[in-house]
Chains A and B, each alone.
Chain A
Amino acid sequence: GESVGLHLPTLSVQEGDNSIINCAYSNSASDYFIWYKQESGKGPQFIIDIRSNMDKRQGQRVTVLLNKTVKHLSLQIAATQPGDSAVYFCAEKANTNAGKSTFGDGTTLTVKP
């Protein structure tokens, strides 16, 4: 079956450093990938997405990299701030499963002042 997994359940970084959160997926048909941020007691918040015809996409302080060869996705956060502390989820969708997103289990990012 499909699965999406994150390499590390927790990540601790110093304020101002860059953070890299990794994700692996198994479904070769996945063609749309999303990163979400979830703060305690809240719903997931969209951060950035990327489609399978791209290998890199940049937003404000965030970059998503997609390597379809090894089915790997990463989220890079530049100059990490205390407000970035949260659980980060990668999710994937495939046109063959229109609508359904498959989520990984999440990486908890802690930013130390």
Chain B
Amino acid sequence: NAGVMQNPRHLVRRRGQEARLRCSPMKGHSHVYWYRQLPEEGLKFMVYLQKENIIDESGMPKERFSAEFPKEGPSILRIQQVVRGDSAAYFCASSLTGVADTQYFGPGTRLTVL
């Protein structure tokens, strides 16, 4: 039973390029969460999605960031026109249900913006 999968594990982009981060939840999980982690800090919530729906995007920056979780395929976190401050580890988690349920994390994507 595979866990949460994320790819790529490492992503290097130049300023102004686009970054696409992918997350496949655990089998049977339909709730996906994205978190960002800066060095030496805890994880900061970004967005919570169910299939085809954004449930809570209160942690997403208003510009350049978007997320989706289509009916088929992985969840995608998209960052347009990346800046150096976007460099961080981005973690995806999934859960079976959304309310008060354990979230299982993927290995993360480490984004470096040159």
Contacts and interface: CB of A to CB of B under 8 A. Distances in A.
Given A100-B56, A105-B41, A44 B102 contact: no
A3 to B, nearest CB: 10
B74 interface: no
Among A36, A44, A46, A105, the most chain B Cβ lie within 10 Å of the Cβ of: A44
Contact of A103 (B42, B48, B99, B108): B42
Contacts of A98: 48, 55-56, 98-100
B107 A51 contact: no
A84 B105 CA distance: 18
Given A99-B55, A100-B48, A100-B59, A51 B100 contact: yes
Interface string A80-113: 0000000001010101011111111110000000
Contact of B45 (A34, A42, A102): A102
Interface residues of B, number: 28
A99 B42 contact: no
Interface of B: 4, 6, 31, 33, 35, 40-45, 48, 55-56, 58-59, 91, 95, 98-100, 102-108
19 contacts: A31-B100, A42-B107, A43-B4, A43-B6, A43-B91, A43-B107, A45-B105, A46-B105, A91-B43, A93-B100, A98-B48, A98-B98, A99-B33, A99-B95, A99-B98, A100-B58, A101-B43, A103-B45, A104-B42
B8 to A, nearest CB: 14
Given A98-B98, A100-B48, A104-B42, 16 more contacts: A34-B102, A42-B108, A43-B108, A45-B105, A46-B102, A91-B43, A98-B56, A99-B55, A99-B98, A99-B99, A100-B45, A100-B56, A103-B35, A103-B43, A103-B44, A105-B40
Contacts of B103: 34, 46, 101
Interface in A25-78: 31-32, 34, 36, 42-46, 49, 51
Contact of A44 (B91, B95, B99, B100): B91
